[in-house]
Copies of this chain bind each other. A is one copy, B any other.
Amino acid sequence: MSAEKSSTSFRDRQERLRALMEARRVPLIVVTHLINVRYLTGFTGSAGMVILGPSQGILWVDPRYTLQAREQAQGVEVLEEKKGILKAAAVWLGKNGVREAAFEAANLSVAQFDLLRQEAGAGVSLKPAGELIEELRVVKDREEIEAIRSAGKVTAEVFAELLPHIHPGATENDLAAEIEYRMRNKGAEGAAFETIVVSGPRSAYPHARPSTKALQESESVIFDLGAIVDGYAADMTRTVFLGEPGRRQRNLYSAVLKAQAGAIRAAQDSAPAGKVDSAARRILAKHGLARYFTHSTGHGVGLEIHERPRLGKGETTCLRSGSVITVEPGVYLEGFGGIRIEDTVLVGPDGPEILTPAPKDNWIIG
């Protein structure tokens, strides 16, 4: 399903990182977060680490991945190591006279750090790098956007196909399985997270998991789903109602839908992330629903399902053209049920674009 990837995008990412490192006075970085290894080199194996310096680029892998790494990795030399890749990289630092190396403090365990320090030797000074690569990843390049667009398309199509299967008697589990099966059949690598299908009073718990509960007449059902294509995730939520909703239900749905539309409109280049959140909150407050909206409005999405930026209260990080985020306000009323509506949204030069194009108005089923 994936288009052939150009090697230039990976080399571009490495050059952008080198420029950022220079600006931050980081001479050399040890990349242990596997997602960042993939982002920089294209290598998709389950173990590997990179050292990147002004003129160095090395990827260490164990023998399971040597062939794969040589095929996939761009812009770096691939070294095979049988007895621990972290140790090998540490020894390399010591032997090559490196004085200062930065590490990913959020993605290196204390045990790994101790090994790194010990094997590199006292001559190498180790410092936290800050989340440099995560910072780069906030702005997606063309290939990344295309991957997320494909993932969003699969996600929306699967939901459209699922609609006829949503009826009283179907269980949450069965529908979740059906969703993930259809994603795979459409060429997705899988689900980006455990698909959520929760119904009735259970929908009042934002993070409930699907159960063997069967859907019933006059219940709302929340579907939260996302496919992975080429390593990139989409994330979408739709809420439907089985039967004829009451007035309260209609009002709640309409308020959440308006809050979502308002928040999406706020997702502009250079807008602080907190502004998207406050747009959703303001509209829900107008409907007297602010206190039922118990989580933040969204998050970045890409190689990881939760990335920067967080779209929460007072968040000052600015969105940029090329950022991809979720916009997902919801209200949760204990004993009654919940409603959440979510899209994956690209912040484009000409405004926001929804990448999960499934309808939101045909929410009444049966």
* Interface residues in chain A, defined as those with a beta carbon under 8 Å from any beta carbon in chain B: 1, 45-46, 63-65, 67-68, 103, 105-114, 128, 173-174, 176-178, 180-181, 184-185, 187, 189-190, 194, 205-208, 212, 294-295
CB distance from A188 to the nearest CB of B (A): 9
Report how many copies the assembly holds.
2
Hey, which chain B residues are within 8 Å of A212, CB to CB? 1, 187
Name the one of B128, B174, B181 contacting A111, with C-beta atoms under 8 angstroms. B128
A-side binding surface: helix, strand, loop or mixed? helix
Hey, which chain B residues are within 8 Å of A178, CB to CB? 181
Hey, which chain B residues are within 8 Å of A207, CB to CB? 45-46, 64-65, 68
Q: A65-B207, A109-B106, A110-B105 are in contact. Are A174 and B181 (CB under 8 A)?
A: no
Hey, which chain B residues are within 8 Å of A194, CB to CB? 189-190
Closest CB pairs A-B (n = 8): A177-B184, A181-B181, A105-B111, A105-B110, A106-B111, A64-B207, A110-B113, A108-B110
Distance A181 CA – B176 CA, assembled complex (angstroms): 10
Q: A46-B207, A207-B45 are in contact. Are A295 and B64 (CB under 8 A)?
A: yes
Determine the residue in chain B with the shortest Cβ distance to A205.
B67
CB distance from A194 to the nearest CB of B (A): 7
CB distance from A176 to the nearest CB of B (A): 7
Distance A109 CA – B32 CA, assembled complex (angstroms): 12
Hey, which chain B residues are within 8 Å of A181, CB to CB? 177-178, 180-181, 184
Hey, which chain B residues are within 8 Å of A105, CB to CB? 109-111, 114
CB distance from A94 to the nearest CB of B (A): 19
Hey, which chain B residues are within 8 Å of A185, CB to CB? 174, 177
Distance A115 CA – B263 CA, assembled complex (angstroms): 33
Hey, which chain B residues are within 8 Å of A173, CB to CB? 184, 187
Distance A294 CA – B107 CA, assembled complex (angstroms): 29
Q: A45-B207, A64-B207, A64-B295 are in contact. List 15 more A-B contacts (CB 8 A).
A: A63-B294, A65-B207, A67-B205, A68-B205, A103-B110, A105-B114, A106-B111, A108-B109, A110-B128, A111-B128, A177-B184, A180-B181, A181-B181, A181-B184, A187-B212
Distance A212 CA – B212 CA, assembled complex (angstroms): 32
Determine the residue in chain B with the shortest Cβ distance to A295.
B64
CB distance from A155 to the nearest CB of B (A): 16
Name the one of B110, B174, B294 contacting A109, with C-beta atoms under 8 angstroms. B110
